[in-house]
Structure 1
Amino acid sequence: MSTQWPAGLLLAYYGDDFTGSTDAMEALSAAGVPTLLCLQAPTPELLARFPDVRCVGLAGSSRGRSPQWMDDELPRAFASLAALGAPILQYKVCSTFDSSPHTGSIGRAIDIGVTRMRGKWSPMIVGAPRLKRYQAFGNLFAAVDGEGFRLDRHPTMSRHPVTPMNEADLRVHLRQQTQRRIELIDFVRLRSPDAGARLNALTNDDAPVVMIDVLDEETLAAAGKLVWEGRGEGVFTASSSGLQYALAAHWRSQGLVPQTPGLPDASAVDVIAAVSGSCSPVTAGQISWARDHGFRVERLELRRALDARSREAEIERVVGVAVQAVSEGRSPLVFSAEGPDDPAVLTFDDIASDAGLSRAEAARRVGETLADVMRRLLDRAPVRRVVVAGGDSSGEVASTLGISALSVAAGMAPGAPLCRAWSDDPARDGLEIVLKGGQIGGVSFFGNVRDGASRAASS
């Protein structure tokens, strides 16, 4: 097998939400692989502006969508990416495998995607040690505050309001979403000399899903080797950013990328603006920290925001608070909930029903409202660095701002880089934006984004 990269793109991916899309972009950018994340299907005109790019992503919203939505939308998205000619086409999933047969079905995405490539297997890497995600014998684990949990006992994912994880064995979980054959190369086999032979024995014209355990840097690089050397005429893979980390680890071992990955440090700014639609306890701790450290923290009242009669007034109220904060040199943070036990979360079904909305419609409306808040704030206040917390909210906000593409500008927290926005609108071009998943970042995350490397280095 040649140790040289092929010409052209190395990988193209569709992200099932916007935060995960920037996570995948960060992993390869830090490894020295130029990567561009598009917010709409990439066009030749857009890509011509970035001739050095070796990986292209397309940010999507399928994590919160139905199988019917996937049937309608994903074939076109996958076709646009497959046409770019990369040997690996990825459906980028969350590293906590957020999915169910009815919402964000990873199985349905696989069944749609494998038809776009000619490979005889569909690799799956979910473990990502840098994000504290580990897979052993097919079971997924995640660490929170230094303590590891099997995912069906995870304090957040086991009680996720939309896709609760009640099974940590990903084979069992995925079999509820697809009839496709599912196999596993566990970490014991992966470390043995016959891992490649085992893979060859599993591949066939039915293109089975082959999960690959990842526990540490050794298994990460071994998994990357297996995928890269087994890509053949092209493979489709549903994987987390563990795939990007694995490929980078293998390429590093071959001398194709720098031995020490890294990104530039972010500089400090006077103020940032943030909105949060996350229900995660991690984000709740970050909101509390911001409140105690000089941010102007303001709750978006969901009953008023979801009621068509009061929505406009509620948006204007919180935008007014945020604009005033910026004028005083304070960073505003508008949030819809503060952790899974917030009354707004516990009564969300009632709030949605009173507004005449389904739960899914109401959740999307919250994201749209936060997007309106951010758009109006940027139109009225001199803010050039923003944060959006929550996967669904990130998609709504980024889509509203007229951004064509994102590239990584600096490191921030693993899985949540500081991005540079590319836009035809001069008011948005060059905007710095962080799209943060609910579980990502330390307690001082919002302060780190504002203060850049100086605070990040000390916290």
Structure 2
Amino acid sequence: MSPVLGCVADDHTGGSDVAAALRRAGLRTVLRFGVPGPDAVLPDCDAVVVALKTRALPADEAVAQSVRARRWLAAQGVQRLYVKYCSTFDSTDEGNIGPVVDALAGGEVTVICPATPEHGRTTYLGHLFVGGVLLSESSMRHHPLTPMTDSDLVRVLGRQTPHPVGLLPLDVVRGASIREHLDALVAKGIRHVVVDATEEADLLAVARATAHLPVVTGGAGLAGAIARTTAFSRPDEGTRLPAGPAVVLAGSCSAATLDQLDHALARFPAHRLDPVATPDPEELARTAFRWLDEHFGDGPVVLYASARPEQREAARAAMGARTSEILERTLGRLAGRAVALGARRVVVAGGETSGAVTTALGVEQVLVGEEADRGVPWCVTTGNDPVALLLKSGNFGRPDLLVRAAQDSR
């Protein structure tokens, strides 16, 4: 039987997040990294997530990859598509949310619903809030790649697409006329409908009212609600994690990751990739590889490039505009070295870092297992020598997540 739902996510931790929501709702879920090739084999599953790295790409490249991913999903028999982006709507005025949704919706109306209340992301009157604070006043205002300085999603999306953008306000979401309101917006020529939601019940109402739409978009919250309103519900069979040493790799500079790193650094040997101390990229890598070779095998180890704002500015001044790219690529290479040394649990913090790690390891497909924290599932590679991956979005997880994940001995 074909999967009931296919999802295209714009980064790897976003893919992991939405895959966790689908599995939690009872769907057997497979997560793939990158655009699958024509010979890619999909195991029996209820949902499949294709996680790309398109969030910060030029819009035309993001669209091309997303369209190829949708074509592959269609070839697997998937009839309904979910377009997943970050619950903080990470994007620029050029995209890539608008251009990708335009391409994948194919001229049909769709909803825009990043709200994920369990993580403090809510939408009211079209404005996105993070933990009760307007998006434009949150730490996302200073994101190094996609600074979010406008909380009005109707306005933000309106700068990314030539098509009209409308609003489904909260009073309608909580009334009995969601479908009627949607139809009225369509009659006016609206193509994209930003949806208010502040509670899980709002997402369930939206999921039921949009069941007729072939393409729906949003964060992991709405995806989970859609999964809960399907006829599928399977018992959690658990996931056996391979035994072996753990390595933690962190590139995210979010406040949550920095706090989690503080806990990990107090427990495990660690090495920081510091461009100020070592501005030459090759020497930076050689130093990190030597450290890893010397310290691996005596327990979990941590390799990180995460830094506070003043440290990031100093790093860019020392290494140049490609600092982030160099650090992510180096962390990916270090992950490969750690696995070659015997690591069987790879814990990664940050979307870009996760993409670099899965690329370096050549991981194309994983089975989604149980969550270490909400929205942060263990994923196990397929094959004869499996590796467990924990791909953590920068802002996700409790303060001790990295410590618990690295010490997990199942």
Pairwise CA distance, 1:434? 0.7
Structure-2 change in CA distance of 1:203 and 1:72 (3 Å): same
Pairwise CA distance, 1:68? 3.1
Select which of 309, 331, 335 maps to 2:300. Answer: 331
Is residue 318 of structure 2 the alignment partner of residue 351 of structure 1? Answer: yes
The residue type paired with residue 170 of structure 1 is L
Q: Distance in 1 between matches of 2:289 and 2:65?
A: 34
Match of 2:340 in 1: 379
Q: CA-to-partner distance for each residue in 1:67-98, whole Å, 9 max, x for gaps?
A: 23224433323322333342322221011110
Match of 1:301 in 2: 274
* Contact persistence 2:367–2:380 (CA under 8 A): yes
Match of 1:237 in 2: 216
Is residue 410 of structure 2 the alignment partner of residue 410 of structure 1? Answer: no
RMSD over aligned CA atoms reads 2.5
Is residue 111 of structure 2 the alignment partner of residue 134 of structure 1? Answer: no
Unmatched segments (≥5 aa) in structure 2: none
Match of 2:4 in 1: 10
Structure 1 length normalisation: TM-score?
0.82
Structure-2 change in CA distance of 1:137 and 1:288 (3 Å): same
Q: Distance in 2 between matches of 1:43 and 1:268?
A: 27
Q: Distance in 2 between matches of 1:386 and 1:199?
A: 44
Identity of aligned pairs, percent?
A: 26
Select which of 257, 276, 279 maps to 2:233. Answer: 257
Q: Distance in 2 between matches of 1:390 and 1:245?
A: 22
Pairwise CA distance, 1:364? 2.1
* Contact persistence 1:319–1:377 (CA under 8 A): no
Is residue 20 of structure 2 the alignment partner of residue 26 of structure 1? Answer: yes
Match of 2:259 in 1: 285
Q: Distance in 2 between matches of 1:385 and 1:61?
A: 22
Q: CA-to-partner distance for each residue in 1:353-379, whole Å, 9 max, x for gaps?
A: 3xxxxx3x4322221111011111221
Unmatched segments (≥5 aa) in structure 1: 1-6, 354-358, 455-459
Is residue 93 of structure 2 the alignment partner of residue 101 of structure 1? Answer: yes
Q: Distance in 2 between matches of 1:351 and 1:209?
A: 43
Match of 1:225 in 2: 208
Q: CA-to-partner distance for each residue in 1:191-248, whole Å, 9 max, x for gaps?
A: 11112211121225966111222211211210111122x22xxx22331112212213
Aligned length: 410
Pairwise CA distance, 1:312? 3.2
Other structure's SS at 1:184 match: strand
Structure-2 change in CA distance of 1:204 and 1:114 (3 Å): farther
Q: Which moved more, 1:210-219 or 1:79-88?
A: 79-88
Q: Distance in 1 between matches of 2:399 and 2:169?
A: 34
* Contact persistence 1:128–1:245 (CA under 8 A): no
Select which of 28, 35, 39 maps to 2:29. Answer: 35
The residue type paired with residue 158 of structure 1 is R
Is residue 201 of structure 2 the alignment partner of residue 213 of structure 1? Answer: no
Superposed, which structure 2 residues align to 1:176-187 within 5 Å? 176-187=159-170
Q: Distance in 1 between matches of 2:73 and 2:163?
A: 23
Q: Distance in 1 between matches of 2:225 and 2:203?
A: 5
Match of 1:356 in 2: none
Match of 2:395 in 1: 439
The residue type paired with residue 141 of structure 1 is F
The residue type paired with residue 117 of structure 2 is P
Q: CA-to-partner distance for each residue in 1:311-346, whole Å, 9 max, x for gaps?
A: 33322322232333333x23111111333x341x12
Q: Distance in 2 between matches of 1:412 and 1:438?
A: 15
Match of 2:113 in 1: 125
Q: CA-to-partner distance for each residue in 1:287-319, whole Å, 9 max, x for gaps?
A: 111111x21121112257763xxx333223222
Q: Distance in 1 between matches of 2:274 and 2:315?
A: 12
Pairwise CA distance, 1:421? 1.2
Select which of 78, 83, 94 maps to 2:70. Answer: 78
Q: Distance in 2 between matches of 1:362 and 1:242?
A: 33
Match of 1:275 in 2: 249
Structure-2 change in CA distance of 1:284 and 1:93 (3 Å): same
Structure-2 change in CA distance of 1:348 and 1:207 (3 Å): farther
Match of 2:326 in 1: 365
Q: CA-to-partner distance for each residue in 1:93-136, whole Å, 9 max, x for gaps?
A: 0111100124x521111222122xx7x31122211122221112
Structure-2 change in CA distance of 1:331 and 1:54 (3 Å): same
* Contact persistence 2:249–2:331 (CA under 8 A): yes
The residue type paired with residue 289 of structure 1 is H
Q: Distance in 1 between matches of 2:163 and 2:61?
A: 20
Other structure's SS at 2:141 match: helix
Q: Which moved more, 1:268-277 or 1:405-414?
A: 268-277
Match of 1:3 in 2: none
* Contact persistence 2:82–2:223 (CA under 8 A): no
Q: Distance in 1 between matches of 2:372 and 2:210?
A: 29
Q: Distance in 2 between matches of 1:206 and 1:263?
A: 46
Match of 1:153 in 2: 137
